[in-house]
Amino acid sequence: MGDPNPDQRQRSGRHAEDAAEAMLLSRGHRLVARNLRLGHLEVDMVTVDPADGSLVLTEVKARRRGRHAPELRVDRAKRRNLIRAATLLLSRRAFRRHAARFDVVAVHLDPAGRPLDVRHLPRAFTADDG
């Protein structure tokens, strides 16, 4: 079976992001933005972690069950773009006093594109990994 059509892929992506948001909110994160665009850069989710006040830039990756781990798809280019986005955000007055961190939420989907398993990987990489 091939990849789902673009509409189904978009719907699956939205379901995965909804599941990621629900998980982070259940852990006390405060949502700052979802699908934030900064020029050509996009961040799936920006939250603040109440434990330490960190600005958390989260990449959400989803795959159907049976394929390799979704988080393996956060490649070097994606990491560099998230680091650039963090630099831009931290230059804004509202975020100057925050430290930034980079998390990944990995979502396994069922054949219909609904989340089966959601895993949060805090500190999935650092700015030095870019």
What per-residue confidence (pLDDT) applies to 114? Answer: 87
pLDDT tens-place string over residues 72-111: 889 999 999 999 999 999 999 988 888 999 999 999 998 8
Residue 34 lies in a domain: yes
Instruction: Supply the DSSP symbol for 97.
Output: T
Res 1: pLDDT: 45
Cα separation values, 80 from 35, 46, 77, 112, Å? 17, 16, 5, 32
How many domains does the chain contain in total? 1
Q: What is the mean pLDDT of residues 53-60?
A: 96
- Whether 115 is in a domain gets the answer yes
The predicted pLDDT at position 69 comes to 85
Q: Computed from CA positions of residues 73, 54, 43, 111, in that sequence, does the dihedral angle turn out positive or negative?
A: positive
- The reported pLDDT for the residue numbered 53 is 92
Range of the domain at 121: 6-125
Residues 6+ apart with CB under 8 A from 91: none
pLDDT at residue 79 in the model: 94
Average pLDDT rounded to a whole number, residues 61-80: 85
b/e string for 29-42 if b means 16 or more Cβ within 10 A?
Answer: beebebebebeebe
Average pLDDT over residues 7-27: 91
Mean pLDDT of 61-66: 82
CATH of the domain at 99: 3.40.1350.10
Q: Which of 66, 14, 56 is nearest to 31 (CA)?
A: 56
Give the Cα-Cα-Cα angle 99, 107, 119 (nearest 5 degrees): 55
114/109 Cα distance (integer angstroms) = 5
For residues 62 and 118, what is the distance between their CA atoms, to the nearest angstrom? 9
* Residue 1 forms part of a structural domain: no
